[in-house]
Structure 1
Amino acid sequence: MSSWNPIKQPVLFLLDIAKKIMSSPYLKLIALFIMLQCKPVFAQDFITERSYYEDATGAMTLEQVKTQKFKPYQNALSEGYSQSTYWLRLKVEPLVQSNFRSLLLRIQPGYLDFIQMYDDLEPKNPDRVQGTLYSATFNDYNSTNFNFVIPGSDKQRYIWLKIKSKGSIFVRTQALTINTFIDYDLIQKLSESFYIGILFFLFLVPFTIWIKDKERLNFAFVLKQFAALLLVSLDTGVHRLLFTETSPVILNSIFNTTALSYTGVAIFFHYIFLRDYHMKSWVKISFAVLAVTIPFGLFKLLISDQISFALELNNIVLTLLAILFIAIPFYGLSWEKNVQPIFSQKFIFAIHWGIGLSMLLTTLPLLGIFKGSSYSMVPGLLNGSFTGIIFLFVLQYRNRMFRDQKAIEIQQATAMANYEKGRRQEKERFISMLTHELKTPLAVLKLAYEGTNLTFKDKHIEGALRDINDVIDRCALEDKLENQGFKPLIEPHSLKRVIYQKISEYDISDRFKFTAEQEITIDTDINLLRIILTNIIDNAMKYGDPTKPIIINNRIDNHPTMQYPAVITISNTVGDIGVPEEHKVFTKYYRSEKAHKYTGSGLGLYLVSSIAKLLKVK
């Protein structure tokens, strides 16, 4: 067997899985969504130079900023979480050979708190502001993106953006003609609506599965997909267009709370999924630590109003979770304990590496660890559908396997039940046969010599017949007890009278020494109590010293630790067969080695123990 290569083989397996998944129509639809998202990047953009300056004081004016040295950046600015104010200097090319006199400055993503634009062509209008701190009506064009209409010019010029945000400083800008802006904004809206529809489908299907099979993993998956659907819907900014009269502070709180909640739900889902794979202790601890940070982050967000801290903590947790996903297939699971895992190590590797890498491509630029691009947000948006499709297939396969396994277990249980039923019926037939076929000739033999003067030999014959009869009776009694055929008839009885009657049934009643401290009345089934006394006295007579008396005593014991105050004691002197093994005397069919010279079934004291439990005595 070839050795497991931790890099090459999983990557090849991941590519193979990707080929199979791409045959799915749902993945083709998502690919269309990606193309629709990327196409605006290649549109004619009138911004030819981008640079930024970080104002750590947050107090500088435009005139002061213009004298500072700006740093160039490409495509998107990603500086992570910061309390600083960022100034963007954008060089706009002249609007020539065009029927348009204005451009639309398009700013993404839609979660930036404060954006203020300065344009030298409009010095009398310096208070043009937008952001999540303001209503969507502040936009110059009705869109989920922030935008400003700026006048065209026949010369190059700079426009300035002042940006503050408690979220990550990740900014993309484009200057487009009105028609181009409208075209691509429409494409964006259609693609976002289409993608939300896919997420709704990926929520609805597992929801119907959960309704039929309310397993915890199905519930966790439904919860995760609902959280992904809600988060992506809010991330598009559509809620700002729908609720223009609602306070922007409330809308921001809903979005931020959803973002943190989604992280907590994702942790919960993946923990539940990996439970079947014998996670090592450090993985369980890691999940627990990451899970604890979510309510802490929500407290900072909603109670302490430390929004920036909470959002940065959330992205750090997502980054650590992604790294955990990458490490788990190698070091986090006890594969030697997974005798028959539902999915192989290669499959778990492919799933978790795919999820982990897609998360890192988004979280690292948001944290400012490395510079992002126009594509940086796409993996994060697609994570909900990627994991949704993968785990939808996984759960369907897993549920099918569980159903098949459950069907096999039911078949095995049914077969075992039928076997036990047949075995019980066969035993009942055997006991019935034994009782009928042996008791009849025994009765004939007994009649043959009844009424005659028996010799010593005849006495032995009578004793043997009695022993055989006792064995049969005990077998029948044991079968009846085992099949719960007894229903005790509880009535009050004199314990002294019961014992006297029992002793009088024996021919050698002078061998007994019975003492009773007082008259004792007990509530019991008289027939079952007689069976107990018979078996114990028979044992004492058969295996005890025949020259010594059998001592019987009954008394009341009022000691506080005694659960049963009425006590019967039957004792005898050990005979020639010696003392049996104490821990085995109540075991079914147990007989000591020397006891085999006497006829017996090994059921006597077992019946005593069983009937005592039935009567709830010790």
Structure 2
Amino acid sequence: MLARLTLWFFIRLALGLACLPVAAQDLIAERAIFEDPYGTLTLGQVRQAEFSVAGNIISQGYTRAALWVRLRVDAPPDAQHLRLRVFPAQLEEVTLYSALLPDEGLRLTGHATWMDALPGPNLYYLRIRTSGPMLLQPLVFSAEQAQQDDSTRGFILGVVLACYAPLLVWLLVLLMTRRQMLHLAFLLNFSVVVASFLGWMGYLSEFFGPVHWASGSTAIFLLGMVNIFTGFLCVCLVLQRFGLPRWGQHVFTVLGILYGVLFLLFFVLDRQRTMQGSSIVGLVASVFGLLLTIAVFYRQKRSTWLIGTLLCVAMVLGLRWFLTLHALVSAVESLVSLLSFRLIFAVGFVSVTLWLIDREKQSQLQTSMMNEAVARKLAESETQRRQTQERFMTMLMHELKTPLAIIQLAATSLGRHLLPDSGDATRVKNINRAVDDLNALVERCASADQIDQGAMHMHKESLCLETLAADVLQTMGTDRITLSAPAQHTVFSDAQYLRLILLNLLSNALKYSPPDSPVTLQFDHTAGAHVAGVSVCISNAVGAAGMPDPAHVFTRYYRAEGARRQVGAGLGLWLAQALARQLGSELQFKADPGRVGFSFFLELA
């Protein structure tokens, strides 16, 4: 839709330029200016002053002086009345003097008036004062030329509105559907731009009347200030789409706050000073925006360089406009074309920019969808791989139970007929120890399978933690484990779950600690979030396997590099964590220099 709107805009613009009427040629043969610093000179005194020749557009910057403009007009032989137009329309005081008018002159209530003329050369004086920038273009036409100029002005107005009206409607639709700040900023800026253009070029005074507040100088000055603020808000939001640095955002924020303060001071302080300050802020913001645009888009891919180029052109046009307001550069073209064609460029700039941003967003969306599809496929493949591995492990463990039982039974029977200290007896003990390790591995795999299938049922009851620990230590059959329990603790938990947790944690500690180092099992009375309980902690020294990775220590099938030399499947810690969560607790891993520990919390009965 936006692409069709952009195409429509360029077709409409081409037709408009092709059918543009020939601009009426004004009758002014010479323009000359004289600046009265204090504004106290009379017409008689000014006539004796030395005037400077001026161009088609007169630009004196911000000044408190009264500007006298001398117009030498060559009236046609049949012309009795001439039409004077003075642009822009927000000039606060414009007084016309001529030999055919009273000495006090004629003060213009609008931007145009009829004046008497004699055939041949006529001399007119304009006395102008304004709070805004002294930027003006006086034009004089005959009656026929005035009609032609009216047609040209009407046609330009039609082209501008024909370009802006559908864009404003489309921005309103985008704002209601997508609700993005960029669309709101463009909508506000373009609304203010159109209103400012209508005010500057006198269309508002022709519609509302020259004395209406909407066409007055105050309203037009305020529209100009809001136009600058919303314009740079649009620039900031466009740059944010392409990686505006944080310091750039801070600078734009400071400039925005400063501009807001100047806007408020417009109502309480001297108007000219506040508007001059606002144009200086706009000048600084244009330079900063141009440099920042180059810096931001230089790092982007080439598909976005067109947006950066258009933004740079917009910044250059804005910079030249502020320089013109301060009379730092000369304005040689018509003021009407200077403003109207910049408005048309703004429409093209925003249409192309929104189209390119939408295209870039669609590209990013397609890339994101492809990445999501690839990630989903990888996740499905990983899930399938894990399921296959788990099914194989489950089948393998079930198939191992019978052979292991036969081996253990045969080794036990053989050991009964051997001397205790013989080498064969030692080898039989090693066989039994290896079978025990394999049986423990099978039990872990079986328990993991039961957890996956939800086949392990929990039955909580009051039980003595020290009694359960003593039974576990007896099952472990080693004197390396030290139990530290200052007092008896009765907890409300599941005995089978606790037994499996302790067995897995203690066997893990015995396996991966130095051979003769002690393993500590400690019970401490503590308080949880809302209830009293006991903290269970198992700690041991770090052995040859090294320190485990804290990020993966509870991951299923995870084994540290140094631990792969020993028997195991990487299920013990994962199984202990899964059981602890079933009990409403959570295993915590703690690593100190040379030692590791695991702890969890149990609620007291």
Correspondence 1:173 to 2:138: yes
Q: Aligned-pair distance for 1:536? A: 2.5
Matches within 5 A, 1:396-407: 396-407=355-366
User: Is 1:310 the counterpart of 2:292 in the alignment?
Assistant: no
SS of the equivalent of 1:256 reads helix
Alpha carbons of 1:358 and 1:516: their partners in 2 closer, same or farther (altered >3 Å)? closer
The equivalent residue for 1:11 is: none
Is the contact between residue 325 and residue 355 of structure 1 (CA under 8 Å) also seen in structure 2?
A: no
- Say whether the 8 Å CA contact 1:277–1:341 is kept in structure 2: no
Pair 246,552 (structure 1): closer, same or farther in 2 beyond 3 Å: same
Helix, strand or coil at the partner of 1:59: coil
1:105 to 84, 94, 97: 84
For 1:14-25, list aligned pairs within 5 A.
24-25=10-11
Structure 2 distance, partners of 1:488, 1:70, is: 104
After the TM superposition, which residues 518-533 of structure 1 pair with which residues of structure 2 at under 5 Å, given as runs? 518-524=487-493, 526-533=495-502
Superposed CA offset, 1:559-601 (max 9, x none): x99x9962335577x7xx95653455846543685883x5323
Shift in alpha-carbon separation, 1:334–1:484, aligned structure 2, 3 A: farther
What amino acid is aligned across from residue 474 of structure 1 in structure 2? Answer: R
Unaligned runs of 5+ in 1: 1-19, 131-137, 140-145
2:69 and 2:127 in contact (8 A); partners too: yes
Structure 1 residue 129 and structure 2 residue 107: aligned? yes
Alignment partner, residue 248 of structure 1: 213
Tell me, yes or no, if structure 1 residue 57 matches structure 2 residue 38. Answer: yes
Question: 2:87 touches 2:202 (CA, 8 Å); kept in 1?
Answer: no
After TM superposition, give the deviation of residue 455 of structure 1 in Å: 2.9
SS of the equivalent of 2:60 reads strand
Of residues 572, 580, 583 in structure 2, which corresponds to 1:604?
Answer: 572
Give how far 1:442 is off: 1.4
Alpha-carbon deviations, 1:80-117, whole Å to 9, x = none? 21101112222343552x2x532222222211111122
- Whole-Å Cα distance in 2 between the matches of residues 201 and 355 of structure 1? 21
What TM-score, normalized by structure 1, do the two folds share?
0.77
The RMSD of aligned alpha carbons is 4.3
Rate the CA distance shift 1:443–1:215 in 2: closer, same or farther, 3 A: farther
| Mapping for residues 114-513 of structure 1, pairs under 5 Å | 114-123=93-102, 126=104, 128-130=106-108, 138-139=109-110, 146-154=111-119, 156-244=121-209, 248=213, 251-275=216-240, 287-288=252-253, 290-304=255-269, 306-324=270-288, 327=291, 332-333=295-296, 335=298, 337-338=299-300, 340-344=301-305, 347=306, 350-376=309-335, 378-443=337-402, 446=405, 454-456=413-415, 463-475=433-445, 493-503=463-473, 505=475, 508=477
Identity %: 17
Q: Offset of 1:307 from its aligned partner?
A: 1.8
Count of aligned pairs: 566
- Residue matched to 2:592: none
Q: Which moved more, 1:462-471 or 1:55-64?
A: 462-471
Q: Say if 1:351 and 1:30 are closer, same or farther in 2 by CA, change over 3 A.
A: farther
Deviation at 1:436, TM superposition (A): 2.7
Q: Which amino acid aligns with 2:83?
A: L
* TM-score, structure 2 normalization: 0.78
Contact in 2 for aligned 1:206/1:392 (Cα 8 Å): no
SS in 1 for 2:349: helix
Mapping 1:572-591, distance limit 5 Å: 578=543, 580-584=545-549, 586=553, 589-590=558-559
Shift of 1:314: 3.3
1:501 CA displacement: 4.2
Separation of aligned partners in 2, 1:162 and 1:487: 99
CA distance in 2, matches of 1:215, 1:225: 16
Give the Å deviation of 1:195. Answer: 0.6
* In structure 2, distance between residues paired with 1:163 and 1:543: 95
For residue 266 of structure 2, give the secondary structure of its aligned residue in structure 1. helix
8 Å Cα contact 1:54-1:86 kept in structure 2: yes
Relative to structure 1, the CA distance from residue 278 to residue 541 in structure 2 (aligned partners, 3 Å threshold; closer, same or farther) is: closer
Give the alignment of 1:22-37 within 5 angstroms: 24-29=10-15, 31=17, 35-36=20-21
Name the CA distance, whole Å, in 2 between partners of 1:548 and 1:147. 104
C-alpha distance in 2 between matches for 1:603 and 1:299:
69
Partner SS, residue 118 of structure 2: coil
Deviations 1:292-322 (A, max 9, x none): 4421321231232x22123223333444444
Give the gaps of 5 or more residues in structure 2.
1-5, 416-426, 589-605
Measured in 2, the distance between the counterparts of 1:525 and 1:210 equals: 59
CA distance in 2, matches of 1:74, 1:553: 96
